[in-house]
Every structure is written in structure tokens, then in C-alpha cells.
Structure 1
Amino acid sequence: MAASLDGRLFAPVADPEGGEVGTSTRFRYHEQDGRIRADYDGGDIERGHLLGTRDGDRLDFRYVQLRRDGRTSTGHCVSRVVELPDGRLRLEETWEWESQEGRGTSVVEELPAQR
């Protein structure tokens, strides 16, 4: 199993087609006892939250977000945690909107530690 997500900062590697987050969105993860949560913002997203579970290297969570234009949206995501050669983590995601039509895939990677 890859390392804990707790305290790690992630960003999308590209703007996902059909998604609302983008490369300027930042996800701050917390993990304890198989439970995960993250707060995120940046780009078109004023504020977002996700809550879910981790079983091995599989995450299963729901997300809710408020866009800067005042619209809200919700969805479900399943991710696979992958450890990169340099020790950072990558999340390979498959998501689906629950508040609107659409689904897709995306990749977010842990940002290098700031020195």
C-alpha cells in the first residue's frame, strides 16, 4: 500500500475534459483510520470538499464544490493511489457527476515539497 495521504498537497496534471477543476486547483488531503477528506480551491472553484474511504490503494469518495460563478456541483470518484519513483503520490481518478450529466478521468499528483 502507498503512503498515507495525510498532509499532502495535490494538483491536477491537466485540465480534465468535462470537469470543473483545473491545474490551478489545489487539494489538501487528510487521512486517518481509512477515512479521507480534502479541501480544495483554485481556478474556477471557490471552495470544495471531498469525503470518503480508503481500502488499500483504492479511494472512494463523494465531492461537493462551489464555483466562483455561484453554481454548485456534486459527484462521486474512485481513485487509485500510485507511488511515483521520487516518493510523491499520484491519484488516477474515475469520476462521475451526480448533479449534472457527465463523467471522465483525471490525474492529480502530489506537489513537490516547498523548501
Structure 2
Amino acid sequence: MAKSLDGLVLSPVADQAPGQVGTRTRFTYHEERGRIWAEYEGGDVVRGHLVGTREGDRLDFRYVQLKTDGGTSSGHCLSTVVDLPDGRVRLEESWKWESQEGSGTSVVEEQAS
């Protein structure tokens, strides 16, 4: 199994559409006994939270966020945890909005120390 996400800070490798997470967004992850959660902010996101579960290298979570324009949005995401050759972690994500139309894929990676 890939290493624990607890305490890791990850960020997207590319920008998404306006009003979504982007390269300036930072996710701080926590993990305990198969449960995961994170706080995130940056870019168009004032504050965001995600909660879910981890089984092996698979994450299943829901997210909710407050955007700079005052709007809120929420969705569901399935991610695969990948150990990179340099020891960092990558999450390969497939997400779908539940509060609006749209879906897509994204990649977030652990910040280099």
C-alpha cells in the first residue's frame, strides 16, 4: 500500500476551469484507520473540505467548497494513490459535481520539501 496521506500537502499540477481548484490551491490531508479528510484553499477557493475513506490505493470522498464569488459547490471524487519514484505521492482523480453540471479528471501531487 502507498504511504499514509496524513500531514501531506498536495496541489494540482494544472489549473481547472474558473471557480475550481487550481495550481494555487493547497490540500492538507489527514488519514486515520481508513478514514481521510482534508482542508483546502487557494486560487478561486476560499475554503474547502473533503471527507471519505481509503481502501488500499483507492480514495472515495465527497468535497464541498466556498468560492471567492461567495458561491458554494460540492461533488464526489474517486482517486488512485500513486507513489512517485522520488518518494512523493500523486492522486489521480476522477470527479463529478453534485451541486452543478460537470465532471472531469485531475492530478494532485505532494509538494516537494
Q: TM-score range by the shorter chain?
A: over 0.9
Question: What does 1:100-115 align with in structure 2 at a 5 Å threshold?
Answer: 100-113=100-113
Relative to the length of structure 2, the TM-score reads 0.97
C-alpha distance in 2 between matches for 1:4 and 1:68: 31
Superposition CA RMSD, Å: 1.1
What letter is aligned with 2:34? G
After superposition, give the CA deviation of every residue in 1:5-53 in whole Å (9 maximum; x if it has no partner): 0000000000135770000000000000000000000000000000000
Relative to the length of structure 1, the TM-score reads 0.96
What letter is aligned with 1:95? W
Q: Which runs of 4+ in 1 moved over 6 A?
A: none
Residue identity over aligned pairs, in percent, reads: 70
* Contiguous gaps of at least 5 residues in structure 1: none
C-alpha distance in 2 between matches for 1:70 and 1:17: 17
Question: What does 1:1-115 align with in structure 2 at a 5 Å threshold?
Answer: 1-17=1-17, 20-113=20-113
* Contiguous gaps of at least 5 residues in structure 2: none
Moved more, 13-22 or 45-54: 13-22
SS of equivalent to 2:20: coil
After superposition, give the CA deviation of every residue in 1:39-85 in whole Å (9 maximum; x if it has no partner): 00000000000000000000000000000110000000000000000
State whether residues 19 and 104 of structure 1, in contact with CA within 8 Å, keep that contact through their aligned partners in structure 2: no
What letter is aligned with 2:105? T
C-alpha distance in 2 between matches for 1:107 and 1:42: 16
C-alpha distance in 2 between matches for 1:29 and 1:18: 23
